[in-house]
Amino acid sequence: MGSVATDLPRSRSAAWLLAARPKTLTAALAPVLFGTALAALLGARLRWELSALALLSAMLIQIGTNLANDAIDFKKGADNETRVGPRRVTQSGIFTSGQVLTAATLCFALAMLAAVPLVLAGGWPIVVIGVVSLFLGYGYTGGPFPLAYLGLGDLFVLIFFGWIAVGGVYFLQTSAWDLPAFIAGTECGLLGTVLIAVNNLRDREGDARVGKRTLAVRLGVQGSRREIALVALLPFALNLYWLALGFRLTAILPFLVFPLATKLVRGVFHTEPGPEFNGLLAKAAALQLLFAILWSLGAALSIAWSGAGL
């Protein structure tokens, strides 16, 4: 299977954990926080088990997507010895592409199993969401029209980790899908897009060499920097929508991480794409998670204060 890179873990269990890319799981957690908190904020009586199962299913799909990406990018030559991001397990020879794709398939199957109670609770809309999610999970890098290779990865994140994921959780709790769900989904999706945009700008040169036409390759360095600034800062502007609805704490608390967003944007504009972007990627993940936590906390405090007559 080739030599194993010295910067990768030696044990198989640790290697599988690395392949799952746990730092990316904020993209699965944030939509569940948004959707559940929004439903509670608008008066729904929460069924916590549905949100928990939605989180489990979303994380399994995320891990499956990461594994499929690991194997398929290696087979297509996108992950090679010139890669500037963290080394991948298929690229490093720890596992074969077949082993990693089998693990991805297992994750997708377990995600379907976890979603069975969600289908029973939500009906056919949840079936559609599940089928689309699995298709996009593999189709991100695989299939005849791989989204990442066509420059559609950013749009995929906005749709899947924003509108579909937040809207799906909200629908499970309320049996509705409305403008507040769309706004919350847009905020969450934009924050998730920051992650992939930073990642793709870091990998831009290597992706271009192997024909992986990500949006960063298509826009160029300056265009990609402007995209990252837009998707990182726009959620704060959209958050004023909650102020218009009278949810002051929901609108205001996420601004506590606005300095992190501006620091991230400055870093993107003043750092040449390369290994240094790994630190910026960590900031992007922290931005999404902290924004979602503060947004949810604001919703919870609004509910508590309303119940207390404050």
pLDDT in tens, 173-226: 999 999 999 999 999 999 999 999 998 999 898 888 878 889 999 999 999 999
pLDDT at 163: 93
Name, in order, each residue with C-beta under 8 angstroms of 73's C-beta and a sequence gap of 6 or more.
Answer: 79, 88, 91, 141, 212
Q: Which domains does the chain have, with CATH numbers?
A: 24-301 (1.10.600)
According to DSSP, residue 92 is labeled T
Q: Is 94 strand, coil or helix?
A: coil
Tokens found for residue 241 = 């929508």
- Give percent helix, percent strand, percent coil of the chain, each to the nearest 5: 75, 0, 25
Residue with tokens 């490093």: 92
pLDDT at 3: 37
Specify whether the CB–CB gap between 164 and 231 falls below 8 A.
no
pTM metric for this prediction: 0.85
Kindly tell me if the per-residue pLDDT of 2 is higher than 70.
Answer: no
Specify whether the CB–CB gap between 274 and 202 falls below 8 A.
yes
Helices and strands in the chain, H and E counts: 14, 0
Name the nearest CA neighbour of 170 among 46, 253, 294, 57: 46
